[in-house]
Amino acid sequence: MRCERCGSKAFERFRGKVYCRECFATRYIGAVESCVRRYRMIRDGESVLAAVSGGKDSVAMLSALNGLSKKMNFEVSALYIDLGIGEYSRKSEDSVKSLCREYGIELHTARLEDYGFTVSDVSGKTCSVCGNVKRYLMNRFARDNGFDVIATGHCGEDILSNFLKNLYSGNIQWSEKQKPRLDGYDRMVTRIRPLYEMSEKENMLYVLARSLPFVEDECPHAPPSTWKEIVYEIERRIPGFRTSVLRNLARERKGGNEVFRYCRICGEITTSEICQFCRNIARFSKNQ
Ligand SMILES: [Zn+2]
Ligand SMILES: [Zn+2]
């Protein structure tokens, strides 16, 4: 088979057409660009801090942002958050380093170790602690260093499976946060999801098309992704389900941010007296 755009050796199908590696990559970046523009994710001249874990999704995001930054007039830097998960974290950090070197992108690192614990010290609900720690550290880092926007590599399936999970457990207000651009308020920095309408498979194929360095292993603490399998199953039976729900979720709804207060210990925004991050420190840190 041949590329339908240039006639070179075929690589893979992208949204109905067969492309060579180069044309696949070009079409992919074009799709990310339309997604970023559709939801007005980045404003003129903004500085974007891309949170990169070294996995295929965030690597594809950093590469796409790097490809779009001149054309769309914004700046990109990368942030790697070291959660201290042994060999997995070391491999991931090396991989992010080599990617940033290749692109000439400035790489920052925030280490959970500096707060007296790592994800390896966490017993029980590792993934919720991990998610809290990442959101907290990226927000503080971005704000302290004057970035306008934090970009994360969440793809369509991540957003839909989170949505279903939260619907199941009754956290309906969480669906408010599953937006392509969540404007900042008070001490919270604006967050964007440039891969909002991209699928995991498209991200993986892009990374392969460009031979980008990425870490293949899953986080050793990640649970089996039942919700994601359900999302795939619905998409198989109702083609177009993913895009349709994502676009509905992105619509403006009434209601502002929930009432918040400041953590008594660190001063970050929280809904309780002491924020979840400081409660995690109290439970797991050896610095006390
Ligand atoms: Zn081609
Ligand atoms: Zn706190």
Please list the pLDDT of the chain residue by residue as tens digits (288 residues): 999 999 999 999 999 999 999 999 999 999 999 999 999 999 999 999 999 999 999 999 999 999 999 999 999 999 999 988 888 889 999 999 999 999 999 999 999 989 888 887 777 666 778 888 999 999 999 999 999 999 999 999 999 998 888 888 887 777 777 899 999 999 999 999 999 999 999 999 999 999 999 998 766 677 677 888 999 999 999 999 999 999 988 886 655 556 789 999 999 999 889 999 999 999 998 886
For the domain that residue 77 is a member of, what is the CATH number?
3.40.50.620
Q: How many domains does the chain have?
A: 1
pLDDT of 125 reads: 67
Ligand 1 center to residue 36 CA distance, Å? 24
pLDDT of 235 reads: 93
Ligand 1 center to residue 49 CA distance, Å? 32
What is the C-alpha to C-alpha distance for residues 224 and 241, in angstroms, rounded to an integer?
A: 22
Range of the domain at 71: 32-258
Ligand 2 center to residue 132 CA distance, Å? 11
Domain presence at residue 11: no
Ligand 2 center to residue 165 CA distance, Å? 26
Ligand 2 center to residue 107 CA distance, Å? 26
Domain presence at residue 197: yes
pLDDT of 132 reads: 87
Ligand 2 center to residue 164 CA distance, Å? 29
Domain presence at residue 282: no
Ligand 1 center to residue 64 CA distance, Å? 18
> What residues are neighbours of ligand 2 (ion), with CB under 5 Å?
263, 265-266, 275, 278
Ligand 1 center to residue 1 CA distance, Å? 11
Tokens of 60: 């594809």
Domain presence at residue 82: yes
Ligand 1 center to residue 236 CA distance, Å? 28
Domain presence at residue 59: yes
Nearest to 192 by CA among 17, 28, 49: 49
Ligand 1 center to residue 9 CA distance, Å? 7
Tokens of 204: 């993986």
pLDDT of 251 reads: 83
Q: Which ligand sits nearest to residue 6's alpha carbon?
A: 1
What is the C-alpha to C-alpha distance for residues 277 and 138, in angstroms, rounded to an integer?
A: 12
Ligand 2 center to residue 223 CA distance, Å? 27
Tokens of 270: 């929280």
Domain presence at residue 250: yes
Ligand 2 center to residue 108 CA distance, Å? 22
Domain presence at residue 212: yes
Domain presence at residue 3: no
Tokens of 213: 């360095």
**Alpha helices, H only, the chain:** 21-38, 56-72, 86-103, 126-144, 156-169, 200-209, 226-237, 241-250, 276-284
Ligand 2 center to residue 276 CA distance, Å? 7
- Do 203 and 22 meet the contact criterion of CB atoms below 8 Å apart? no
pLDDT of 225 reads: 79
* Dihedral class, residue 195 (left if φ above 0, else alpha if ψ from -120 to 50, else beta): alpha
Put simply, whether the predicted model's pTM sits higher than 0.85 gets the answer yes
